[in-house]
Amino acid sequence: MGKVIVVTSGKGGVGKTTSTAALGAALAQSGEKVVVVDFDVGLRNLDLVMGAERRVVYDFVNVIQGEAKLPQALIRDKRLETLYLLPASQTRDKDNLTPEGVEKVIAALKRAFDWVICDSPAGIERGATLAMRHADVAIVVTNPEVSSVRDSDRIIGLLDSKTLKAESGERMEKHLLLTRYDPSRADRGDMLKVDDVLEILSIPLLGIIPESMDVLRASNLGSPVTLADERSAPARAYFDAVRRLKGEALPVAIPGERRGFFGKIFGRKAA
């Protein structure tokens, strides 16, 4: 049975879809069988970030409504044999995602894949609660910024109350993925530091993704950043996050903290 992961945040634009694509690809690059599932009905974008937007024929809602079989809706990645995408519907209403339908699809995906990664829509409404409902593990994507941290706190509350795990009295495993981290701004004292966010949200850290042009470049090309440039800083951060997700005890290096005195003086102007 595969593991179900929800990538969630509450706030929009923090990097859920980018992170879903990058983590999914990184897991597949390590030989795992992975499906990434877009829960953002009406505003799908995972297909675009994965570079599969022109290959969508059937979607999640078609499967739930019985208009297509699950294997017909799954899109296999052109670069990675073990990576699949289940796209969301762009035209249908999100009320078409029924709890029973979602449960059936997730159960079928769990049987066929090692990892089922659910890309949650922003907000705390139906789409977001359905995306987290069946998760074994939650990845809370947060920017070091007040509104994102507040919304993450709210989402953590929902993960601890509205998921099947929580309702059956089990502990929901939650990880923090800090994205768009800019070490030079944090150094200057104008961005919340890693420790600040960790102290406030008090969930374990899965990784820190530095703010980087490589992320935008990868999405321009329709490629997860771990495939677009394996050696870029964000790609390496996602690869490390995946190793931790698989249970490896790999310490998290905070970007920018190894810089010496001169690096600090001359590095500041960069941002």
Partner 1 sequence: MNLFGLFSRNQSAPAARERLQVLLAHERASAGASDLLAKLRDEILRVISKHMQIDQDKVSVRMDRGEQVSTLAVDVEIPFNPAKPTTSRKKAA
- Asked if 125 interacts with partner 1 (CB under 8 A), we say no
Q: How far is the CB of 174 from partner 1 (least distance, A)?
A: 15
Distance in Å, CB of 157 to partner 1, minimum: 6
Residue 111 binds partner 1 (CB under 8 A): no
Q: How far is the CB of 232 from partner 1 (least distance, A)?
A: 26
d(CA 25, CA 149): 26
CB of 254 to partner 1, least distance (A): 14
Compute the chain's Rg from CA coordinates: 18
Tokens of 25: 């690809």
Tell how many helices (H) and how many strands (E) occur in the chain: 14, 8
Among 93, 190, 230, 257, binds partner 1 (CB under 8 A): 190
Q: Considering only CA atoms, which of 196, 198, 176, 126 is closest in space to residue 19?
A: 176
Residue 154 near partner 1 by CB under 8 A: yes
For position 95 contacting partner 1 by CB under 8 A, the verdict is no
Of 26-34, 51-59, 185-193, 250-258, the segment contacting partner 1 by CB under 8 A is 185-193
Residue of 97, 212, 198 lying closest to 149 (CA atoms): 198
Tell me how far apart the alpha carbons of residues 126 and 94 are, in angstroms, rounded to a whole number: 8
From 79, 150, 217, 259, residue interacting with partner 1 (rule: CB under 8 A): 150
**In the bound complex, what is the minimum distance in angstroms from residue 188's beta carbon to partner 1?**
7
Single out the residue of 74, 124, 186, 203 in contact with partner 1 (rule: CB under 8 A): 186
- Separation between Cα atoms, residue 1 and residue 208, nearest integer Å: 29
With binding defined as CB under 8 A, does residue 193 bind partner 1?
yes
**Who's near 112: CB < 8 A, 6+ residues apart?**
2, 33, 35
- Classify residue 165 by its DSSP letter: H
Asked if 265 interacts with partner 1 (CB under 8 A), we say yes
Binding site for partner 1 (CB under 8 A): 145-146, 149-150, 153-154, 157, 186, 188-193, 196, 200, 265, 268-269
